[in-house]
Amino acid sequence: MTIILTELKEIPLIRQGDDLAKIIEISLHRSNLVLEDNDILVLAQKIVSKAEGRMINLATITPGDRARALAKQTDKDARLVELILQESSNVLRTRPGTIIVEHKLGFICANAGIDHSNVAGIGDANEEMVLLLPKNPDLSAKAVRSKLEKTTGKRVGVLIIDSHGRAWRNGTVGMSIGLSGIPGVLDERGWKDLFGYTLKITIVGIADELAAAASLLMGQASEGTPIVHVRGFPYRLREGTFNEMIRAKDQDLFR
């Protein structure tokens, strides 16, 4: 079994309205890659958000009373806190510098995934520009996949990933926030192990495993590698959604 991850070359700085599928096709050519059935493209969330115009100037945001109060508790910009509240369904934990929320998309993350780093725009020198997550990452992945399959005739998958922290662990890792044409999880309950024991609870987060692998190539700072091509993914591709990776609240012991 061999899985090959290749960073795509010469990806330009993404602007609102850019055609990510076309950019991928050009970069595949420059990287001497031809899409084959069952290949996967892993995209960093930032380029998807930028292409979809999810950049916000904090100078345009007026914080409400709740945002101003929470900003005092966390030593954060009240305008940023207002955006965090708008993007979230629930605030779970706070400490100075960090607000842990349940995002409207369903997952738990810090500061609603709103980012300052690698965000270009007017006012960026003063960190006025911030970037929100895509409104619907599954649909974003589907749109890119549909264009690629139409132009190449190949059956592929698309995964959108972001960097998230984890409870009880230091360090961020790449995690999936949207997907199309690939499974989110692999349910191995009922499978036999090497000694014939029947697995009872094993469900593998294979989309997140792939996200973490691709994140090794993407990096977190100035690497400029927002797209990774994957060949040899060791599981059958199928239609999947991000929701299959979200643990139901009545089964969540830590929320």
Shared-domain flag, residues 143 and 43: yes
Q: Print the domain residue range for 83.
A: 55-131
Q: What is the mean pLDDT of the chain?
A: 90
* Position 253 in a domain: no
Give residue-wise pLDDT tens across range 117-170.
656 555 445 558 999 999 999 999 999 999 999 999 999 999 999 999 888 889
Reply yes or no on whether the pLDDT at 221 is more than 70. Answer: no
End of a domain among 131, 159, 178?
131
Q: What is the mean pLDDT of residues 45-70?
A: 95
Asked if the model's pLDDT at residue 247 lies above 90, the reply is no
Helix (H) or strand (E) holding 72, with range, is helix 65-74
The answer to whether residue 187 scores a pLDDT higher than 90 is no
> For 93, phi and psi rounded to 5 degrees?
-145, 155
Give me the percent of the chain exceeding a pLDDT of 90: 75
Q: What's the CATH code of the domain at 237? A: 3.30.1330.100
The whole-model pTM stands at: 0.91
> Across residues 161-185, what is the average pLDDT?
92
CA-to-CA dists, residue 219 to 9, 15, 173, angstroms:
14, 20, 10
Query: In this structure, is residue 200 part of a structural domain?
Result: yes
What is the average per-residue pLDDT within 7-28? Answer: 94
Instruction: Return d(Cα 247, Cα 245) in angstroms, integer.
Output: 6
Tell me, yes or no, whether 251 lies in a domain. Answer: no
* Count of residues in the chain: 255
Residue 176: inside a domain, yes or no?
A: yes
Structural domain count of the chain: 2
Q: Give dist(CA 143, CA 122) in Å, integer.
A: 28
E strands, 62-168, are: 88-95, 98-103, 108-110, 129-131, 157-166
Residue 223 pLDDT = 57
